[in-house]
Amino acid sequence: MQTLESLLKKGTTILKDNGLEEAGLDAWLLLEFKTGKNRAYYFAHGDEPVSDETAAEYLTLIDRRAGHIPVQQLTHQAFFMGYEFYVNENVLIPRQDTETLVEEALKHLGDVEKPEILDMCTGSGCILLSLLLERQDACGTGVDVSPEALEVAKKNASILKVENRADFVESDLFSAPYFCEKGGKDSGKYDILISNPPYIPDYEYETLMTEVKEHEPKTALVAEDNGYFFYKKIIDEGKNYLVSGGVVLFEAGYNQAQN
């Protein structure tokens, strides 16, 4: 029978042999997920036996990770702004870099009372929902063209208990009747429009890591017009849904912000 220690070593070796750069960390995260044992417990009880069933399930996860499926998709857990989000193959995995966008939005909201937030290309909902968690007086709308992504966002809103302050709309940017007929909401005006849209040029897509290129939705990554399509559309049309003095905030590629 395997022990915690022997199982971790086996998982790490398999991942190393398959070229995973963070084999030790990934093997540990999957072991913690499958056994529920934290590091303190592991170091004190590394010789504890693991049931054959649990060991087999763990090694199945290891084999899937060896195939470059992201850890977060295997565990359905991703952490963003200190909150845990459910993720699957239908949404981008939240990145730590995007936390900067949320922090900047909080600065702009400042003393705005009961702010209204529009999150375009919401995906998992991590941006909008984090803002709602940080601002308990805020309400918001998350928009995405993918119904599968919106199901994930709604699930997260429910898990995080902010579903009463978050609406979700299936729309190709501002094309849905929700926007055409209602201007986005009753007043038609938001205090902030925030977005992490697709912005990778098609020619750069093939250079992405296998985990991203083969296991995250391409439609949430790649944009026409050398990556600028969504920026231009959102800026052009989004101003119609902002209050006077409202702001638009984007995540941008490393070589795009200056443009």
pLDDT digits (tens, 9 = 90+) for 115-174: 999 999 999 999 999 999 999 999 999 999 999 999 999 999 999 999 999 999 999 999
Residues 6+ apart with CB under 8 A from 116: 138, 139, 140, 141, 185, 187, 189, 190, 191, 192
Band of residue 255 on the pLDDT scale cut at 50, 70, 90: low
Q: How far is CA 229 from CA 33, 45, 125, 208, in A?
A: 39, 54, 21, 20
pLDDT of the residue at 239: 87
Residue with tokens 């070593």: 9
Nearest alpha-carbon partner for 126 in 86, 185, 67 = 86
Which amino acid is located at 174 in the chain? Answer: F
pLDDT for residue 9 is more than 60:
yes
| pLDDT class of 244 with cuts at 50, 70, 90 | confident
Q: What is the pTM of this model?
A: 0.91
Closest CA to 107 of 18, 191, 214: 191
189, 242 contact by CB (below 8 A): yes
Please report where in the chains the tokens 């209050």 appear, as a residue. 243
> What pLDDT is stored for residue 220 in this prediction?
93
Pairing relationship of beta strands 83-85 and 78-80 according to DSSP bridges? antiparallel
Report, as an integer, the average pLDDT of 220-229: 89
Alpha carbons within 13 angstroms on the beta-carbon side of residue 44 total 5
Question: Cβ distance 38 to 84 under 8 Å?
Answer: no
